[in-house]
Structure 1
Amino acid sequence: MYKSAAVTGYKPHEIGVFNEKHEQLPYLKRALQKALTARIEEWDLSWIVITGQPGVELWAGEAALELKKNEFPDLKLAVLAPFYHQEERFPEPVKVLYQKVWDGADFKDYITKRPYENPSQLRMKNEFIAEKTDTALVLYDEEIEGTPKFFLAAAKKQAGKTDYPLVYVTPDDIEDLIREEHIDGAD
């Protein structure tokens, strides 16, 4: 039904994750993988589309590569960076993850074919991704504002024109997963 899903969400600093060793990061990654798996199975999703920004997008890219390797060999990952060299300002561990996801992607390109010039490139990125995908999976809570609000504005505009479902993964979903795993682990 829906073949391509944009995946986005908070940047690491927006949710208090300042390194890859953060104690809740494995749960967040599993929650993303669980949400992606549900969408793949429910919608016969074949493409995961990210822009490669730090945080949820790169973690989703990593999850998509794992799902492709282990469960869904036909799944494809597209990385559509908003501009050339976006990773130059990323901290070193994020650059490493970006390169891993970029190298593993089935399709990669740049939305604006030039280096960063101004914020309009980011607006164009949001509009482009919303227009070129069938649905979106967003790790976001409307009560905890962050940069995903800009993509959501473009996605909601797209949803007003076409059938474009927005699926949210919230911090509460991650907390539920943590509780569920702790209960299962206690049995």
Structure 2
Amino acid sequence: MKNLYVSGYRSFELSIFQENDPKITRIKEVLKSNLKEQLEEGLEWVIISGNLGVEQWTASVVTGLKEEYPELKLGIIYPFKDFGSQWKENNQEKKIAVEAQADFVDSVSHAPYQNPGQLKNHTQFLLQHTDGAILVYDDEFPGKTEFFYKEALKQENYQLSTISFDDLQNFESY
């Protein structure tokens, strides 16, 4: 797998409202472990959509992994132009910081948000341009990631891996 999409819950879906929440550390540890396994198998690109929560924490993990794996690249592919422009100022600052870490930033639609079709097109683009996905997602607790999850399940030869709440709780760091 050369191109991997990573997504999952938004921070508010996990009731995470502080940057020092210990749940973030656990999620990052699990993501790092999963990404290292993929890197040993030839992973080149990690793609995110820039959402607050798992995706931005993934960007942080990828940036850290670049020290050991300098060939690793981070791409951000937003669903539409001006994604996140309605966010609070501190969240927009986080978005800018993540963009500064990325090797590639673009959007599927080069128009501002107009309709839900842009989100569907974004999902289809990601499914067509990545070999698989890691989702921090538990189907017993659906969230905004559910749409991508269900679409990914329909794809042939698409490697979908999920990190459930049980996986997070039972993860042993080394």
Does TM, normalized by the shorter one, top 0.5?
yes
Larger Rg: 1
**What is the alpha-carbon distance in structure 2 between the residues aligned to residue 103 and residue 39 of structure 1?**
24
Aligned to 1:27: 26
- Count residues in correspondence: 174
TM-score by length of 1: 0.87
Shift of 1:4: 0.4
Q: Aligned partners of 1:90 and 1:55: how far apart in 2?
A: 13
**Structure with higher strand content:** 2
Please state how far the C-alpha of 1:22 moved relative to its aligned partner.
1.7
Asked if the contact 1:35–1:169 (Cα under 8 Å) also holds between the matched residues in 2, the reply is no
Instruction: Give 4+ residue runs of structure 1 displaced > 6 Å after superposition.
Output: none
Unmatched tracts of structure 1, length 5 or more: none
Deviations 1:58-108 (Å, cap 9, x if unpaired)? 11112111111x211000111001111112122333322221221121111
Equivalent-residue separation in structure 1 for 2:102 and 2:74 (angstroms):
5
CA separation of 1:85 and 1:8: change in aligned 2, threshold 3 A: same
Q: Does 1:108 align with 2:105?
A: yes
Structure 1 partner of 2:138: 141
TM-score normalized with structure 2 length: 0.93
- Residues in 2 aligned to 1:122 and 1:104: alpha-carbon distance in whole angstroms: 24
Aligned residue runs from structure 1 range 15-94, under 5 A: 15-41=14-40, 43-68=41-66, 70-94=67-91
What is residue 119 of structure 1 aligned with on the other side?
116
Tell me, yes or no, if the aligned pair for 1:79 and 1:102 is still in contact at 8 Å.
yes
Instruction: Provide the rounded CA distance (Å) in 1 between the counterparts of 2:77 and 2:118.
Output: 12
CA–CA separation in structure 2 for the residues paired with 1:127 and 1:152 = 12
C-alpha deviation, 1:119, in angstroms: 1.5
Aligned partners of 1:65 and 1:101 also within 8 Å: no
CA distance in 2, matches of 1:104, 1:84: 19
- Uncovered stretches (5+) of structure 2, i.e. residues with no partner: none
Task: Quote the RMSD (CA, aligned, Å).
Answer: 1.5
**Counterpart AA for 1:123:** K
Q: 2:149 aligns with which of 125, 148, 152?
A: 152
> Which structure is higher in helix share?
1
How much identity, in percent, do the aligned residues show?
Answer: 33
- SS of structure 2 residue aligned to 1:111: strand
Q: Does 1:170 align with 2:164?
A: yes
Provide the C-alpha distance between the structure 1 equivalents of 2:132 and 2:144, rounded to a whole number of angstroms: 19
Aligned equivalents of 1:123, 1:55: Cα separation in 2: 21
Distance (whole Å) between structure 2 residues aligned to residue 72 and residue 90 of structure 1: 32
